[in-house]
Amino acid sequence: MRKYFGTDGIRGRVGEPNISPDFVLKLGWAAGRVLGNGNGSTVLIGKDTRISGYMFESALEAGLVASGVNIRLLGPMSTPGVAYLTRTFRACAGIVITASHNPYQDNGIKFFSADGDKLPDAVELAIEAELERPLTTVDAANLGRARRVEDASGRYIEFCKSTIPAAMNFRGLKLVVDCANGATYNAAPHVFEELGAEVVPMGTEPDGLNINRNVGSTSPAALCQAVINVGADLGIAFDGDGDRVLMVNAQGRLVDGDDLLYIIARARQADGTLRGDVVGTLMSNLGFEHALQRLGIGFARTQVGDRYIMEHLKRTDGILGGEPSGHIICRDRTSTGDGIVAALQVLAALRTLRASLDDLCAAVEHYPQVLINIRLAERRDVLRLPAVVEAVRLAEQELGGRGRVLLRPSGTEPLVRVMVEGADATQVQALAERLAVVVRNQLGDGAL
């Protein structure tokens, strides 16, 4: 069991025990001890636009330098941007200071290996083991050195553009690009403008406190309205650290990650480059799975979380996977989920398939899906309780093979998520509410 790491790094409220300056300083030291591979090792540090990012950048810098590791500071940079630059700099690791789609009061630390991949469990456990030891500092002559990378954003912009054919452009498209006042604010508009699109930027004025506030992929209502107001062809929304993307059609309708992944898969199939199953998660819509089946494309599900998708893709040599939230992995283009790269693949697919977003999305009939979150006073394993098991069995029996029931604990919060999906929206709502009541009754005072 990991003590500090969750499903995607370490995350929490700023100032609390695991997201405090003293802890992050020691975390930098521990990571340097584990990830540093001898004299001259370099670690890249990027961050999103939270006000606390400056504080944690300094803390990480001090800890890494004390372990004898050199640092390259990237400044505001998306999570996938850090993964890419880690590879190109031949660094031993990359670190991103971000809490992704969470509000500014939260922050977190994500790590990438030298290959730009998320760290395996064994390495995270090794870092946790170092955290239990006293912090020591290398001899002064062996201390690491820190230097800022001045052209980090430009390097990443050029990489993003290179993921579509060199002869392709998006002239004639009017796009509203919502950067969530987050890490993509200085890169995403340039990418689409340089490829010929007319860009209306949105969420590009970060002040340290407004990341994800009423903008971005987790709050897309403003983008939906903006697309209508300016008469855009499409809207594109990223989250705070740029690893997720959602789109909006010309009528202001939101298009989720399942739809976008379907479009990319269809284009890869058409050009003969699709390899392996498309990989989703337990939350991927059943209608999406059926749409892929009609194309003859295999589909596999994993636990929720991009690390599990990536593990499956590597194990099976697949190239495409993603989540409804818009975390899409194009493994034939980059090593992690990348909102800008995924958006470019969708726009390229519209060009190569000579179809509109609406035409391609029409093939995916989304089944109604109801999700109810039940907060726990403390983490408890309620899913094996006999009453809960029996309630799930009865719900599945009532769906009669035309839907799914999923109860799962959150990997990042003390929550139990109750999800029911099926063809009949009324039935799905009723079953979800019934299951939620059973779970709450089993929790007593623990449910909020």
- Exposed/middle/buried for residue 75 (C-beta within 10 Å: 0-12, 13-18, 19+): middle
Q: Which residue's structure tokens are 């009324």?
A: 426
Task: Check if the beta carbon of residue 353 is closer than 8 Å to that of residue 266.
Answer: yes
The amino acid occupying position 322 is G
User: Which of 224, 263, 238, 228 is closest to 347 using CA atoms?
Assistant: 263
Task: Considering only the C-alpha atoms of the chain, give the largest distance between any 2 of them, rounded to a whole number of Å.
Answer: 70
Three-state DSSP at 142 gives helix
CA 38 – CA 43 distance, rounded (Å) = 12
- Angle subtended at Cα 446 by Cα 441 and Cα 448, rounded to the nearest 5 degrees: 85
CA 112 – CA 334 distance, rounded (Å) = 13
β-strands 403-409, 415-422 pairing: antiparallel
The amino acid occupying position 194 is E
Active site residue 356: no
Task: Check if the beta carbon of residue 348 is closer than 8 Å to that of residue 197.
Answer: no
- Provide the 8-state DSSP code for 414: S
Phi and psi (nearest 5°) for 92? -80, -15
| Active-site residue identified among 52, 100, 153, 335 | 100
CA 108 – CA 96 distance, rounded (Å) = 8
- Here the tokens at position 245 are 């993307």
Task: Check if the beta carbon of residue 65 is closer than 8 Å to that of residue 145.
Answer: yes
- Exposed/middle/buried for residue 415 (C-beta within 10 Å: 0-12, 13-18, 19+): middle
User: What is the set of active-site residues?
Assistant: 100
